[in-house]
Amino acid sequence: MPVKKIALLVVIAVVLAAYFWLGGERYLSVSYYQELYSRQPQLTAAVYFGFYIIATAFSLPVGAVITIIGGMIFGFWTGTLLVSFASSIGATLAFLFSRILLRDWIQKHLGGYLKTVNEGMARDGGFYLFSLRLIPVFPFWVINLVFGLTPIRTLTFYGVSQMGMLAGTMVYVNAGAELGAVETFSVSGILTPGLLLSFLLLAVFPFVARALVGFFQRRRAYRGHTRPASFDANLVVIGAGSAGLVSAYIAAAVKSKVVLVEKDRMGGDCLNTGCVPSKALIRAARSVVEIRKAGQLGIDAGEPRVDFARVMERVQQVISTIEPHDSVERYTGLGVDCIRGEATILGPWQVRVHDRVINTRSIVIASGARPLVPPIPGLDAVDYLTSDNLWQLRQLPRRLLVMGGGPIGCELAQAFRRLGSRVTLVDMMPRILPREDEDISAYLQQRFVDEGIEVLVGHKSVGFEQRHGDHLALLECGGETREVAFDRVLVAVGRRANTDNLGLDQLGIERNTNGTLVVDEYLRTRFANILACGDVAGPYQFTHTAAHQAWYATVNALFGDIKKFRVDYRVIPWATFTDPEVAHVGLSEADARQQGIDYEITRYGIDDLDRAIADNAAEGFVKVLTPRGKDQVLGVTIVGVHASDLLTEFVTAMKRGLGLNKILGTIHTYPTLSEANKFAAGEWKRAHAPRTLLNWVARFHRWRRRG
């Protein structure tokens, strides 16, 4: 043991011995302070009052303990008076310290809390602080410090804090007073009605307080709205995309009366303009590469000839084949009342479609999103494409400019390049796929360059012009302007939630800057019976997360007054269907660094995998993020053929708390691509082999060889 540690232990032992030798243990006895209070009540109360203020002002985590002690020493009424004012004054001092002295420290260490608090204050004002005091979602010391950086006035902070903390103060002081009245700490002395009741109050207070806050929030939200005497439906679902269809399906399955409203086509973006058509197009584009690579397999197929019109017709045939899964006929057969039209929410319990007004107990908004088109000068004049109208093309663009290096832009840029377009991919970010780790982005970007795609990252589109019969994009990079000629431009810079024309502003239902609705952890808006799911709710815009959210939204809409469920975002996978595919789940390296996690990377190259070599697809890798020295899976990225399918094993492992040792111990069929997951686990095991033990085992074997 180091000398410093030994010296520290010796000092601690000496201090403790001196403390008890000099009779210091009496200062740990509540009876000592009770006796002192009986002899010098004002001095004792003043010292306790001052200590409580100092402890709170300096954010010491002792509030609950000294509150109970205050009840034991001073009794209920005096204890409540002292604690109520001392805690409020101390909290206000911490609030002022934060505002005057600790602003930079708070921004750095408590920035996540600050964002939540600012949103709550913008939404509910002083009532938000009152609710936090009554039900502390964050520790009290965090509330004191973070609110110092909000615009709330000091006197308002003090007054609301004192009122909000009073109920909790009384419950804790009462528990202390009952404990202080116990004469003998025996079973009969402790099991008194008063003490049992006080502990019962401590147990039920959070639930009562939560119900009280919920009651006041509902009263504020529903003020001015009259609840119908009866309802036409249990649930109205607005939007028949992925989220809306799952919501309607679940609602019908539990025998509720559900109305599904869709103003355009059943199936939403995923079926008609998103996942399905893009994957059909990608499959056609990949076949071009497969034909060109056939010679590597000993098959001479010649140069493929692309009939772009037929490719796009086949895309429409795929949509038509899948369409019955999402049809009006199918959902009507399930018991869903399907209505074609535009929905307007008239009130918390009323939706109008055409001239029909539907009284409903709950509403789920699943209206989806649309491509975001930035206000760039001249863009409107060049007949731009988006993921909505792209599928109407029947003539392949000779020169295609793709704006946006996210998943949609990358997938379509590569597909059109393989089908024969000259493609330029532009993004203002320093790299494509910015949500992935830098090595992943660099790998795919190099692949794009190798395939002939011109990748211009760090370039901002500032204007579009037509000159001498040519379309020109004006790009700005490093203070210089560059011109890129094109025939068609595809705008793929993001998506914006469809929340316009629903009547939300009249109801005060708030939206974020990207148009998504402000919802709580149960997917509820400011009205508990109006919920949202899918792209319109965020934070993820994936079909599978839309379906995931739909379960929570529907169950909470139908049964939330009995039992409600927080939506679970702990394990969210996603994939970019380029070639090679990029699939990801969990933390990235940037996430781990931001959270201060000491991590390590295990990497297995798929180019060494037998099945990949046999399939002429020996490229890519499996990258696993784990805590240093542990096999817990924090995050995984797979780059390679069928990466989106291979990822599922890791998604299951993370969901069920299984580590790499469990994956290594699972039999994987040979030869398959899924062996890449097992070999990645094997790489981790090899790096963490017990070297000392193995050295002793080696000595043991040498000894046995000697006979």
Two structure tokens written together for 693: 């033990």
pLDDT value of residue 134: 78
DSSP 8-state secondary structure symbol assigned to residue 169: H
CA-based nearest residue to 366, from 563, 538, 565, 568: 538
Question: CB of 397 within 8 A of CB of 384?
Answer: no
Rounded to whole angstroms, how far apart are CA atoms 41 and 457?
Answer: 73
Question: CB of 148 within 8 A of CB of 121?
Answer: no
pLDDT value of residue 692: 86
Confidence of residue 181 (pLDDT cuts 50, 70, 90): confident
Between 193 and 36, the higher pLDDT residue: 36
Q: What is the DSSP string of 115-159?
A: HHHHHHHHHHTHHHHHHHHHS-SS-HHHHHHHHTTSS--HHHHHH
Confidence of residue 627 (pLDDT cuts 50, 70, 90): very high
CA–CA–CA angle 234, 239, 243 (5° rounding): 85
Mean pLDDT of the chain: 90
The strand ranges marked E within 571-700 are 573-576, 581-586, 599-605, 621-627, 635-640
* pLDDT tens digits, one per residue of 365-416: 999 999 999 999 999 999 999 999 999 999 999 999 999 999 999 999 999 9
The CB density around residue 106, as the number of other CB atoms within 10 Å, is 21
Per-residue pLDDT at 5 exceeds 70 = no
Confidence of residue 208 (pLDDT cuts 50, 70, 90): confident
CA-based nearest residue to 26, from 38, 36, 13, 40: 36
Query: Half-sphere exposure (CA, 13 Å, Cβ side) for 527?
Result: 26
pLDDT value of residue 602: 97
Rounded to whole angstroms, how far apart are CA atoms 141 and 161?
Answer: 12
Two structure tokens written together for 288: 């071009």
Inter-helix orientation angle 242-253/543-559, to 10° = 40
Rounded to whole angstroms, how far apart are CA atoms 352 and 335?
Answer: 20
pLDDT value of residue 205: 67
Expressed in angstroms, the distance from the first to the final Cα of the chain is: 41
Region 674-687: mean pLDDT is 96
| CATH top-level class of 379-492 | alpha beta
Count how many residues are written for the chain: 707
Question: CB of 577 within 8 A of CB of 649?
Answer: no
Question: CB of 640 within 8 A of CB of 579?
Answer: no
Q: Give me the residue label for tokens 């709205």.
A: 225
SS3 571: coil
Amino acid found at 48: Y
Q: Give me the residue label for tokens 């702990």.
A: 570
CA-based nearest residue to 53, from 104, 114, 97: 97
Confidence of residue 175 (pLDDT cuts 50, 70, 90): confident
Per-residue pLDDT at 584 exceeds 80 = yes
Helix, strand, coil percentages (3-state) for the chain, rounded to 5, are: 50, 15, 30
The CB density around residue 356, as the number of other CB atoms within 10 Å, is 12
The CB density around residue 73, as the number of other CB atoms within 10 Å, is 25
Rounded to whole angstroms, how far apart are CA atoms 484 and 464?
Answer: 10
Confidence of residue 20 (pLDDT cuts 50, 70, 90): low
618, with CB counted inside 10 A (0-12, 13-18, 19+), is middle
CA distances 394 to 170, 403, 410, 557, Å, are: 74, 21, 21, 44
Per-residue pLDDT at 515 exceeds 50 = yes
Rounded to whole angstroms, how far apart are CA atoms 289 and 291?
Answer: 5
pLDDT value of residue 183: 59
Residues 6+ away with beta carbon under 8 Å from 508: 526
For the chain, the maximum distance between any two Cα atoms, rounded to a whole number of angstroms, is: 105
Confidence of residue 17 (pLDDT cuts 50, 70, 90): low
DSSP 8-state secondary structure symbol assigned to residue 529: T
Run of H or E including 692 = helix 691-705
Percentage of the chain exceeding pLDDT 90: 68
Rounded to whole angstroms, how far apart are CA atoms 281 and 278?
Answer: 5
**Into which CATH architecture does domain 580-691 fall?**
2-Layer Sandwich (3.30)
Run of H or E including 289 = helix 275-293
Amino acid found at 25: E
Confidence of residue 194 (pLDDT cuts 50, 70, 90): low
* pLDDT tens digits, one per residue of 81-114: 999 999 999 999 999 999 888 888 877 777 777 7
Rounded to whole angstroms, how far apart are CA atoms 592 and 599?
Answer: 7
SS3 532: strand
DSSP 8-state secondary structure symbol assigned to residue 229: S
Q: What is the DSSP string of 304-373?
A: ----HHHHHHHHHHHHHHHGGGG-HHHHHHTT-EEEES-EEEEETTEEEETTEEEEEEEEEE---EEE--
Two structure tokens written together for 437: 């780790």
pLDDT value of residue 187: 46
Two structure tokens written together for 675: 């062996």
Region 536-563: mean pLDDT is 94
Run of H or E including 33 = helix 30-39
Q: Which ranges of 75-125 does DSSP label H, i.e. alpha helix? A: 76-100, 103-109, 111-124
286, with CB counted inside 10 A (0-12, 13-18, 19+), is middle
Between 125 and 436, the higher pLDDT residue: 436
CA–CA–CA angle 237, 241, 245 (5° rounding): 55
pLDDT value of residue 171: 86
DSSP 8-state secondary structure symbol assigned to residue 535: G
Amino acid found at 513: T
Assigned fold of 233-371+497-559? FAD/NAD(P)-binding domain (3.50.50)
Hey, where are the domains in the chain? Answer: 40-220, 233-371+497-559, 379-492, 580-691
SS3 226: coil
CA-based nearest residue to 420, from 444, 399, 441: 399
Question: CB of 475 within 8 A of CB of 388?
Answer: no
Rounded to whole angstroms, how far apart are CA atoms 164 and 170?
Answer: 11
Run of H or E including 377 = none
Question: CB of 473 within 8 A of CB of 484?
Answer: yes
- Domains 233-371+497-559 and 379-492 agree in fold: yes
